[in-house]
Amino acid sequence: MIVAIDEKPVLSYQYETMYPPAGVDSAFQRSGYIHPLKTLSGHTLTWIQPEDHYHHYGLWNPWTHVLFEKDTLDFWNLKKKEATVRFADFKEISRNKFSVLQEHVVLKDGEEKIALNEVQTIEFNKLSDEQYTIDFTIDYSCATDSPFKILEYRYAGFSIRATEKWNAENSKVISSEVQTRDEIDGTLGKWVLVQGELGNDYGGFLLLSNTSNFNHPEPLRVWPKGNHEGWIFVNFAPTKTKDWLLEPGKIYTLKYRMVVSNTEISADEAEEFWTTYTNH
């Protein structure tokens, strides 16, 4: 499904299963993610199935270390063939918003079992000819009478694998608390800003965490410059420092806003965006 602003495609939600390249284990197949994510000037900001991490899918949000019915399962590292996340249904489609059901599925003994339901609502609004926002509301509910316990782990949750055009030399990553990319990983943040050169242009995205989110301000997972040829991976990881128990009969919600920009965003501007978001 393609979302456009002023007839310019800016976001694609991939509901069909994407298979890995020929010769790569089919376990890396996936649906239910966003790619490409684009600036209003048409530059792609996301990357899927990079050779170093075939399980990376643009903008996506699986959990890595989960206790479910006495098994410890990995919904992130698809090569383990323990679990996955997939698109199940469209719940709503309107002018500037859509909502989808995604299933967190256990793969065991040749059978599948849905352990967690996720309703993800995505709303987008134009701010100017240079910027637009995307609001994400993610509602989780147990699909069975068994709890879904997300165990403490160093990465999991709302994540972006950024464009292969960016590297350690032509891009930068800062957070609300740390101004140096190499020092961000493991710190807490209200927001994280990723931007850089895009051919002859410049642009990027600002991720904002809602104050209502579990373990806010959230721990961050950010690759230092020396990791993976300087490419960029950014992750709000609320369970990086503590477990999160999801119990049957309850709904648990995470909210994020993304500001996608054709122009450079300063730290002061990022803070203003966060203030506006939290006071909204």
pLDDT digits 0-9 by tens, 19-31: 999 999 999 999 9
Query: pLDDT confidence of 108, banded at 50, 70, 90?
Result: confident
Q: Which of 93, 67, 264 is nearest to 151 (CA)?
A: 67
- pLDDT tens by residue, 46-63: 999 999 999 999 999 999
pTM: 0.97
Confidence of residue 17 (pLDDT cuts 50, 70, 90): very high
pLDDT in tens, 200-256: 999 999 999 999 999 999 999 999 999 899 999 999 999 999 999 999 999 999 999
DSSP string, 138-189: EEEEESSSS-EEE---SS-SSEEEB-TT--TTTEEEEESS-S-GGGTTT-EE
**CB neighbour class for 137 (10 Å; exposed up to 12, middle 13-18, buried from 19):** middle
In this prediction, residue 95 has a pLDDT band, given cuts at 50, 70 and 90, of: confident
By residue range, what is the domain housing residue 88? 2-278
Residue 280 has pLDDT above 80, yes or no: no
pLDDT at 23: 96
How many domains would you assign to the chain? 1
Q: How far apart are CA 51 and CA 107, in angstroms?
A: 24
Distance, in Å, from the CA atom of 33 to the CA atom of 147, rounded to the nearest integer, reads 25
- DSSP bridge pairs for 149: 67, 245
Q: Return phi, psi of residue 12, to 5°.
A: -125, 125
Give the Cβ contact number of residue 214 at 10 Å. Answer: 15
pLDDT greater than 90 at residue 68: yes
Split at pLDDT 50, 70, 90, the class of 118 is very high
Q: What is the pLDDT of residue 279?
A: 85
CB under 8 Å to 156, separation ≥6 — which residues? 62, 63, 64, 65, 76, 150, 235, 237, 239, 240
User: What's the CATH number where 199 sits?
Assistant: 2.70.98
Percent of the chain surpassing pLDDT 90: 97
Is the per-residue pLDDT at 178 higher than 80? yes
| 257 CB-near residues (< 8 Å, 6+ apart) | 133, 134, 135, 136, 207, 208, 210, 273, 277
Question: What torsion do the CA atoms of 85, 90, 95, 96 make, to the nearest 10 degrees?
Answer: -20
Spatial distance between the Cα atoms of 206 and 195, rounded to a whole number of angstroms:
8
Looking at every residue in the chain, the average pLDDT score rounds to 97
Which tokens is 233 given?
A: 């991976």
CA–CA separation, 37 vs 87, rounded Å? 18
pLDDT-above-70 percentage for the chain: 100
